[in-house]
């Protein structure tokens, strides 16, 4: 999509915003614009009915605003199945049922004999070990019933899955079939038989195998009708009550070791290892009908049951907790609500909203890993005790029969994640300043955007050897050879132990159930997608390089040594203690952030025999683009700190300054470098003086014409407020002159007392200190006021806002305030600065720097930290950056203000006020509206830019970049170049101006730095010598050129450039400028007149403009490339 296209679209979709500019446009979609409703007086004041009163009161008391209630209702409408859909489903179910009932009988054969199956269908089971006893024959099903969410009415869009239970006739099975996988194999054979029967039918679109929740013991058959997206999942079940539930006690063994290993052992039956997972997966097959009955009975008493389950399912799905092995799926959600209803924790009359709230509250406060819950009212005597379940499983939630643990496959980590999510949701639910609905139910939380660090285990076959190393053979037998899920819980607890205090949560991806075609064998375990793990870091501990263990002589020392192996060594500390300790090597902040990576690779290598090459650590892949390229890799934290320290010193010296006519009341930084958010923090340079010309009078260096451009030295703005006094003149010009006098005086004093090289100017004072240039600007707090005041004809003193006053206010009040506030934020969140820098680097690279300015970008990032819901504040630069992109792409800029609650100064009432003001005057406000405590109505920072068209463009590009990045980060098999997201698409622009790289001072900061380098008049290896001539300050030909271009052709075209070493200026003609307009004296710039009879039209003189691009950038421009013929009017 080209920007011009998007601008057209912008006009279409954003019409209500710009009624002034809207042209009569046939294709325009009529959109309901928001107008405040004007209810007539009679409507407002008519006597209320009792019903209406109730409704109003409910809305007022139950929900903090009726909006939330309505939003939830709308959401439910959106996910509910339509009547048409239900008919479709019913029809399909009927067809399939008929087909299945016609399955032909087949003769009894040995189970290992598969000759009765045609080649077109394979058995969905990995037959390992091969040997198996028993006979099998196909027979028509005993019964076919709907089970699961569809008959219960809790089935929601999208991915509609309808479960169909097909009962295997009892003469196919034998009583002892539960031993040694005989029953699961028979079931697989039975499914294959069904598939063989259905494969020729034309009423079925596609047919695939899968397995229930990724459990390979429980294959299912997926049927899809032609041209429809719904899925019918066919389960094969034993007849109800065929096996006795007590045979599946978690401590019983049903898979014999000698059969599984194929070796004779002398173990008696009682000493065989128990097989709880095997048992529960078999038991699960026996009970679905009973569960459905139970849920239907409970649900029929509570009118909001189905809606409550639907909301809970949406909530789970947004958190990626509802699918895959060991997930908290929709069935568990329904069971949980049933548990809460039967235990009277919630009442039958509650609404869906309250059901969701109470269940989240329950999850947040109850730890099922320690205190399991049971739905069984009065379990029979054969049912095992809760403690028996706890010893076999990590999470315990028993079904109504009391025999089955429904959370058998769930790991403790998954439950902890669930708890964490629930308590997080409860936190922001009540917070009136958060858009609860959006955070709760609308925002997806994929792992890459939720966890601070993510790593993946790529080569899953290595987990097989870890099972051996960790001595997990009997568990492997219990899991029927699924080495991934056998090793997973052990690895998780190992990592949990090793990472200890550094993390607050360890999560892992729930491997999705594989699907494969009926004509192929089931996929191997090693072919599964890689396992992903997510870490939620504790910012204060995560980056510590030292792991301090117990004292050398304590009994825990051995344990510590066992955990860390050879990395553990005895160390003596300053307090005299001699303890075991592990020291990780990391020097700069960006290396320290990756200490968890060292820990993880070390532990996995040591204990689980997983080589480091299998661990794909996704945490710092983007650091490259903001690295400063010194000897120690660094992402600029150290350099920023150096700047801030130097500034602190300067500020102290200014404070101590005496002999000034007025005293200094405040010294404030007003530059991104002073709040750690400068993309490339300034570095002290060691200049080669012979590279420059000298300016005699001031002793300053000047760039030479024939040489490459000298390095760009950023002036760091410092605002210095002088005390208010009657001595200040109350006239704008006079204030300016006085200020100049102050600059001179300050310069003299700094030179005299501290020997800094200074250069006073009327507008500022440049001080060269520690290799940095500080640009001190003296300010007088009443200046904006003076600019606003004027005396009108009646002699009345009037105060009128104007551009100039606002600019002064921005520079001397708002910017310093923002800088100090954000400086404070960096102290709380160590990765704040890095996120800002990544964000701004991306904006720059995508040529948006002039639309989303530095301060705006910083504010956007700040909002991620101050209002992270539904996430936690970002703990690594990468996750922060991804969320920044997501914010840009998904925030509803048109309907909502982005409120950044700096220093927590805004109250709930303020929020409402801001929102109301915003809605009332939406049309006149900027497209991107950001409110802060000091600026509730104007959106100071985004007043000028971005325009609505550019905002649209930013949204599109951000969404695209996010997609590409997330794919690249989560998929190890793809080409690994995250810089793709930082290369702008140039094909949408009309003209490209290529610059001579030697004249681009910041070339080294480019996304793709050039291979060839040239001297910029700097000796390698930093270091700063004080004294000497002042370097070339703030001289950047590219920005000077851009300013000239914008001055001259700003009404005809837009100019875009990457401020960080971009060598291309992209030009986009404004479509409006190319509509031939009648000749006006004020609009002939760069145009020529065309005379057609009496009519005189002014059209842009494009050839001359292109020539001007070259002329005005003489020495900087390499070539001007016109790419489109759009201007031929």
Partner 1 sequence: MAPSKKKHVRSESCVIPGGFTELSLQFSSDSVSQHKLYVKEHRVRADKSSRPLDRTLFVLNIPPYCSKAVVTELFSQFGTVHYVELCDQPGSSQQTEPTVSPMFKPAEKQGFNVGYIVFKNATSIKAAKSHPHDVPLVVSTEQHPVKTGVQKWIQQYRNSFISTDKIQQVVDSFMEDYDKRKEMEAEQQRKEAEQQQEDEEGWVKVSRGNKGAKARPYSEAANQRTLQKEIKKKKRKELLNFYTWQHRKTQREHIAELRKKFEDDKQRITLLRAQRKFKPY
Tell me the residue ranges of DSSP E strands in 606-695.
615-618, 664-669, 686-687, 693-695
Transcribe 33-65 into DSSP letters: --------HHHHHSPPPHHHHHHHHHHHHTSSS
Q: Which of residues 370-399 bind partner 1 (CB under 8 A)?
A: none
240 vs 1050, beta carbon nearer partner 1: 1050
Transcribe 368-421 into DSSP letters: TTTS-EE--SS--TTSPPHHHHHHH-SS-EE-TTSS-BTTTT--HHHHHHHHHH
* Closest separation in Å from C-beta 610 to partner 1: 34
759 vs 953, beta carbon nearer partner 1: 759
Of the candidates 541, 734, 908, 986, which one interacts with partner 1 according to CB under 8 A? Answer: 734
- Are the CB atoms for 851 and 639 separated by under 8 Å? no
Of the candidates 1, 56, 91, 986, which one interacts with partner 1 according to CB under 8 A? Answer: 56
709 vs 836, beta carbon nearer partner 1: 709
Of the candidates 269, 553, 575, 1114, which one interacts with partner 1 according to CB under 8 A? Answer: 1114
Of the candidates 107, 555, 795, 1021, which one interacts with partner 1 according to CB under 8 A? Answer: 795
Work out whether 892 is an interface residue with partner 1 (CB under 8 A): yes
* Closest separation in Å from C-beta 697 to partner 1: 5
250 vs 760, beta carbon nearer partner 1: 760
265 vs 895, beta carbon nearer partner 1: 895
* Closest separation in Å from C-beta 1110 to partner 1: 9
* Structural element, H or E, at residue 151: helix 149-152
Transcribe 533-562 into DSSP letters: EEEEE-TTTTT-SEEEEEETTSTHHHHHHH
Of the candidates 2, 8, 59, 446, which one interacts with partner 1 according to CB under 8 A? Answer: 59
Burial grade of 22 (CB within 10 A; 0-12, 13-18, 19 or more): middle
User: Could you tell me which stretch among 236-244, 254-262, 451-459, 1100-1108 binds partner 1 (CB under 8 A)?
Assistant: 1100-1108
Q: How far apart are CA 805 and CA 811, in angstroms?
A: 10
- Are the CB atoms for 1038 and 849 separated by under 8 Å? no
- Are the CB atoms for 842 and 885 separated by under 8 Å? yes
Q: Which of residues 156-175 bind partner 1 (CB under 8 A)?
A: 158
Work out whether 1107 is an interface residue with partner 1 (CB under 8 A): yes
Of the candidates 590, 606, 738, 902, which one interacts with partner 1 according to CB under 8 A? Answer: 738
Of the candidates 842, 864, 1101, 1127, which one interacts with partner 1 according to CB under 8 A? Answer: 1101
- Are the CB atoms for 288 and 149 separated by under 8 Å? no
226 vs 444, beta carbon nearer partner 1: 444
User: Could you tell me which stretch among 98-106, 458-466, 606-614, 1084-1092 binds partner 1 (CB under 8 A)?
Assistant: 1084-1092
User: Could you tell me which stretch among 100-108, 460-468, 494-502, 1096-1104 binds partner 1 (CB under 8 A)?
Assistant: 1096-1104
* Closest separation in Å from C-beta 743 to partner 1: 8
Work out whether 49 is an interface residue with partner 1 (CB under 8 A): no
Q: Which of residues 287-316 bind partner 1 (CB under 8 A)?
A: 314
Q: How far apart are CA 82 and CA 1041, in angstroms?
A: 60
Please provide residue 707's backbone torsions phi and psi, each rounded to the nearest 5 degrees. Answer: -90, 160
DSSP three-state, residue 1054: strand
59 vs 959, beta carbon nearer partner 1: 59
User: Could you tell me which stretch among 29-37, 160-168, 676-684, 714-722 binds partner 1 (CB under 8 A)?
Assistant: 29-37
Q: According to the 3-state scheme, what is the secondary structure of 564-610?
A: HHHHCEEEECCCCCEEEEEECCCCCHHHHCCHHHHHHHHHHHHHHCC
Work out whether 128 is an interface residue with partner 1 (CB under 8 A): no
398 vs 1067, beta carbon nearer partner 1: 1067
Token pair of 34 as six digits: 């928001």
Burial grade of 889 (CB within 10 A; 0-12, 13-18, 19 or more): middle
Q: How far apart are CA 1119 and CA 427, in angstroms?
A: 58
638-656: string of b/e by CB count within 10 Å (b at 16+)? bbbebbbebbeebbebbee
Of the candidates 297, 1088, 1119, 1129, which one interacts with partner 1 according to CB under 8 A? Answer: 1088
Q: For the chain, how many residues are written?
A: 1129
User: Could you tell me which stretch among 606-614, 694-702, 715-723, 899-907 binds partner 1 (CB under 8 A)?
Assistant: 694-702
- Are the CB atoms for 100 and 141 separated by under 8 Å? yes
Q: For the window 1042-1071, what string marks contact with partner 1 as x by the rule CB under 8 A? A: -xx--xx-x---------------------
Work out whether 1012 is an interface residue with partner 1 (CB under 8 A): no
Work out whether 661 is an interface residue with partner 1 (CB under 8 A): no
* Closest separation in Å from C-beta 511 to partner 1: 20
Handedness of CA 804, 807, 812, 817 (dihedral sign): positive
Contacts 24+ apart (CB under 8 A), 319-323: 319/417, 319/421, 319/445, 320/444, 320/445, 320/446, 320/447, 320/509, 320/510, 321/414, 321/417, 321/418, 321/421, 321/510, 323/510, 323/512, 323/513
Of the candidates 201, 895, 903, 905, which one interacts with partner 1 according to CB under 8 A? Answer: 895
> Please, what is the Cα angle at 935 between 929 and 938, to 5 degrees?
50
Of the candidates 731, 801, 923, 1008, which one interacts with partner 1 according to CB under 8 A? Answer: 731
DSSP three-state, residue 179: helix
* Closest separation in Å from C-beta 1101 to partner 1: 6
Of the candidates 700, 812, 961, 1063, which one interacts with partner 1 according to CB under 8 A? Answer: 700
User: Could you tell me which stretch among 411-419, 584-592, 647-655, 1038-1046 binds partner 1 (CB under 8 A)?
Assistant: 1038-1046
Q: Which of residues 961-1000 bind partner 1 (CB under 8 A)?
A: 999
Q: Which of residues 232-271 bind partner 1 (CB under 8 A)?
A: none
> Please, what is the Cα angle at 1075 between 1074 and 1081, to 5 degrees?
90
39 vs 128, beta carbon nearer partner 1: 39
User: Could you tell me which stretch among 64-72, 89-97, 248-256, 581-589 binds partner 1 (CB under 8 A)?
Assistant: 64-72
Q: Which of residues 898-937 bind partner 1 (CB under 8 A)?
A: 919
1024 vs 1035, beta carbon nearer partner 1: 1035
Q: How far apart are CA 574 and CA 554, in angstroms?
A: 19
Size of the site for partner 1 (CB under 8 A): 101
471 vs 1082, beta carbon nearer partner 1: 1082
44 vs 1011, beta carbon nearer partner 1: 44
Q: Which of residues 535-574 bind partner 1 (CB under 8 A)?
A: none
* Closest separation in Å from C-beta 507 to partner 1: 20
- Are the CB atoms for 1089 and 1079 separated by under 8 Å? yes
Q: Which of residues 410-449 bind partner 1 (CB under 8 A)?
A: 441-442, 444
DSSP three-state, residue 14: coil
How far lies 740's CA from each of 665, 718, 733, 744, 746, in Å?
A: 18, 15, 11, 6, 10
Question: Is the bond preceding residue 24 a cis peptide, omega within 30 degrees?
Answer: no
Chain CA centroid to CA 583, Å: 32
Q: Which of residues 69-98 bind partner 1 (CB under 8 A)?
A: 70-71, 74-75, 77-79
Residue 673 DSSP code = G
Token pair of 625 as six digits: 């683009």
* Closest separation in Å from C-beta 742 to partner 1: 10
* Closest separation in Å from C-beta 1089 to partner 1: 6
33 vs 1075, beta carbon nearer partner 1: 33
Q: What is the largest CA-CA distance in the chain?
A: 113
* Closest separation in Å from C-beta 1062 to partner 1: 17
Q: Which of residues 752-771 bind partner 1 (CB under 8 A)?
A: 759-762
């Amino acid at each position: 999509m080209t920007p011009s296209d998007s601008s057209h679209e912008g006009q279409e979709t954003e019409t209500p915003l710009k009624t002034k500019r809207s042209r009569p446009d046939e294709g325009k979609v009529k959109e309901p614009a928001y107008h405040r409703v004007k209810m007539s007086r009679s409507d407002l004041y008519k006597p209320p009915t009792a019903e209406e009163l109730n409704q109003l009161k409910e809305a007022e008391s139950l929900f903090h605003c009726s909006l939330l209630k309505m939003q939830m209702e709308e959401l439910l409408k959106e996910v509910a199945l339509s009547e048409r859909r239900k008919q479709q489903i019913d029809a399909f179910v009927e067809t399939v049922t008929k087909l299945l009932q016609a399955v032909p009988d087949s003769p009894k054969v040995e189970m290992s004999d598969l000759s009765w199956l045609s080649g077109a269908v394979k058995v969905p089971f990995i037959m390992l070990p091969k040997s198996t006893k028993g006979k099998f024959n196909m027979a028509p099903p005993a019964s076919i019933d709907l089970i699961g969410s569809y008959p219960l009415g809790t089935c929601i869009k999208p991915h509609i899955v309808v479960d169909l239970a097909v009962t295997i006739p009892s003469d196919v099975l034998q009583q002892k079939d539960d031993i040694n996988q005989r029953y699961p194999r028979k079931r697989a054979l039975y499914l294959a038989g069904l598939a063989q029967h259905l494969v020729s039918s034309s009423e079925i679109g596609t047919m695939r195998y899968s397995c229930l929740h990724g459990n390979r013991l429980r294959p299912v058959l997926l049927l899809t009708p032609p041209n429809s997206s719904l899925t019918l999942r066919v389960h094969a079940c034993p007849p109800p009550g065929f096996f006795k539930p007590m045979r599946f006690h978690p401590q019983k063994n049903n898979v014999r070791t000698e059969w599984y290993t194929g070796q004779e052992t002398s173990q008696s039956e009682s000493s065989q290892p128990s097989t709880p997972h095997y048992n529960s997966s078999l038991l699960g097959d026996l009970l679905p009908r009973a569960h459905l009955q139970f849920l239907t009975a409970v649900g029929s008493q509570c009118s909001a049951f189905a809606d409550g389950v639907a909301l809970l399912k949406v909530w789970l799905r947004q958190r990626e907790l509802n699918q895959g092995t060991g997930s908290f799926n929709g069935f568990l959600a329904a069971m949980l609500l049933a548990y809460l209803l039967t235990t009277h924790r919630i009442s039958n009359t509650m609404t869906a909203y309250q059901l969701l709230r109470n269940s989240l509250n329950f999850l947040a406060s109850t730890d099922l890993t320690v205190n399991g819950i049971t739905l069984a009212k009065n379990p029979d005597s054969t049912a095992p005790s809760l403690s028996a379940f706890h010893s076999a499983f990590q999470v315990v939630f028993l079904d109504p029969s009391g025999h089955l643990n429904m959370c058998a496959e769930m790991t403790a980590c998954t439950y902890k994640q669930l708890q964490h999510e629930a308590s997080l949701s409860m936190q922001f639910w009540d917070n009136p300043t958060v858009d609860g609905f959006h955070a709760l139910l609308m925002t997806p939380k994929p792992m890459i955007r939720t966890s601070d660090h993510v790593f993946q285990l790529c080569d899953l076959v290595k987990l097989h050897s870890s099972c051996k190393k960790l001595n997990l053979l009997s568990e492997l037998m219990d899991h029927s050879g699924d080495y991934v899920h056998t090793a997973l819980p052990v690895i998780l607890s190992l990592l949990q132990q090793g990472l200890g205090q550094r993390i607050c949560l360890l999560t892992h991806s729930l491997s999705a159930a594989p699907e494969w075609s009926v004509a192929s064998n089931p996929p191997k375990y090693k072919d599964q997608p890689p396992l992903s793990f997510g870490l939620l870091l504790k910012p204060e501990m995560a980056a510590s390089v030292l792991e301090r263990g117990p004292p050398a002589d304590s009994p825990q020392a051995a344990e510590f040594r066992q955990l860390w192996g050879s990395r553990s060594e005895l160390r003596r500390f300053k307090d005299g203690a001699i303890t075991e300790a592990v020291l990780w090597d990391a020097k700069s902040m960006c290396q320290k952030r990756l200490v968890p990576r060292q820990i993880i690779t070390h532990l996995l290598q040591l204990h689980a025999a997983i080589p480091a090459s299998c661990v794909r650590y996704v945490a710092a892949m983007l650091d490259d683009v903001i690295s400063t390229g010194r000897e120690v890799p660094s992402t600029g934290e150290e350099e920023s700190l150096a700047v801030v320290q130097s500034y602190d010193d300067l500020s102290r010296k200014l404070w101590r300054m005496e002999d000034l006519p007025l005293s200094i009341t405040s010294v404030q930084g007003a530059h991104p470098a002073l709040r750690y958010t400068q993309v490339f923090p300034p570095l002290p340079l060691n200049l080669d003086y012979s590279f420059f010309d000298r300016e005699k009078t001031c002793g300053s260096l000047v760039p030479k014409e024939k040489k490459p451009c000298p390095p760009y030295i950023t002036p760091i703005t410092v605002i210095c407020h002088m005390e208010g006094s009657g001595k200040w003149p109350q006239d704008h010009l006079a204030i300016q002159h006085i200020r100049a006098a102050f600059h001179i005086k300050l310069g003299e004093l700094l030179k005299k007392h501290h020997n800094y090289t200074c250069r006073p100017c009327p507008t500022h004072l440049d001080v060269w200190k520690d290799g940095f240039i500080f640009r001190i600007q003296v300010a007088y707090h009443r200046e904006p006021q003076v600019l606003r005041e004027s005396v009108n004809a009646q002699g009345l003193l009037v105060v009128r806002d104007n551009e100039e006053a606002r600019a002064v206010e921005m520079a001397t009040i708002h910017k310093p305030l923002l800088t100090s506030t954000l400086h404070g934020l960096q102290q709380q969140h160590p990765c704040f600065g890095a996120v800002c820098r990544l964000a701004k680097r991306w904006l720059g690279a995508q040529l948006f720097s002039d639309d989303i300015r530095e301060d705006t970008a910083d504010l956007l990032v700040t909002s991620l930290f101050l209002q992270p819901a539904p996430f936690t504040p970002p703990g690594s630069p990468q996750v922060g950056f991804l969320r920044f992109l997501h914010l840009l792409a998904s925030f509803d800029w048109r309907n909502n203000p982005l409120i950044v609650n700096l220093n927590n100064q805004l109250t709930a009432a303020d929020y409402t006020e801001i929102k109301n003001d915003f809605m009332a005057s939406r049309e006149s406000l900027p497209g991107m509206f950001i409110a802060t405590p000091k600026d509730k109505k104007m959106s100071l920072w985004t007043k000028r830019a971005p325009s609505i068209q550019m905002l649209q463009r930013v949204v599109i590009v951000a969404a695209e970049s996010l997609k590409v990045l997330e794919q690249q980060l989560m998929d190890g098999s793809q080409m690994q170049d995250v810089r793709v997201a930082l290369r702008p698409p140039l094909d949408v622009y009309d003209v490209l101006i290529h610059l001579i790289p030697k004249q681009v001072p910041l070339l080294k900061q480019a996304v793709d730095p050039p291979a060839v380098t040239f001297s910029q008049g700097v000796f390698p290896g930093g270091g700063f010598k004080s004294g000497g001539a002042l370097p070339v300050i703030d001289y950047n030909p590219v920005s000077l050129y851009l300013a000239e271009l914008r001055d001259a052709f700003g009404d005809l075209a837009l100019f875009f450039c990457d401020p960080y070493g971009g060598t291309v200026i992209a030009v986009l003609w404004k479509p409006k400028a190319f509509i031939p307009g009648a000749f006006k004296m004020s609009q002939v710039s760069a145009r020529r007149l065309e005379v057609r009879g009496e009519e005189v039209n002014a059209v842009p003189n494009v050839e001359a403009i292109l020539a001007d691009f070259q002329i005005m950038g003489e020495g900087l421009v390499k070539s001007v490339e016109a790419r489109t013929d759009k201007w031929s009017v």
